[in-house]
Amino acid sequence: MNGEDQRDLVRLRDIYLRKLGVGPFPTNECAAARITGSLHGCLVLYLDDIAGIASHGVKLATLEEPRKLEFQKLVARSFSERYPGAIRKITLKKTPVLLQLLADTEEARLLIKAYFDDERPLKTSEA
């Protein structure tokens, strides 16, 4: 791992500690924006997956290959790419806290994705 990767992974852990792992989850905003049922579950799981990976920080470099591949697949697509209809419900006016949480999650996702892409590009058949 080079110095830039190390800095990015430290930054990733910092994003987790300051933004992703603090809560509370904006449940009331989700209800107001009608993000309910399975969509709400998908949102919670997505945010949890990215936060969980981010919590590893520099330890991402020491993970076993199967775990790295699992994480690489989880960060391959953003929430808006996975659920394009849902992202239209998340607005600055109705869901400002959720919107910021998604922005912070996207920042973490991109750092994780860049780290894994630099380390070992994902084969398109695995995505």
Residue 5: partners with Cβ closer than 8 Å, 6 or more residues away:
61, 115, 118
Does residue 78 lie in a domain region? yes
Dihedral, CA of residue 123, residue 52, residue 82 and residue 74, to nearest 10: 10
In a domain, 87, yes or no: yes
The HSE-up count of residue 72 (CA atoms within 13 Å, CB side) is 21
Determine the structural domain holding residue 9 and report its residue range.
Answer: 3-119
How many structural domains compose the chain? 1
* Percent of the residues in the chain that have a pLDDT greater than 70, as a whole number: 92
Tens digits of residue pLDDT in 31-62: 999 999 999 999 999 999 999 999 999 999 89
Quote the Cα angle for 112-20-32, to 5°: 120
Across the range 67-85, mean pLDDT stands at 94
Residues 57/10, Cβ–Cβ less than 8 Å: yes
Q: Is residue 124 part of a domain?
A: no
Identify whether 127 is part of a domain.
no
Q: Which pLDDT band holds residue 120 (cuts at 50, 70, 90)? A: low
Quote the percentage of the chain above a pLDDT of 90.
75
Q: What is the pTM of this model?
A: 0.87
* Structure tokens that stand for 11 in this block: 């930054």
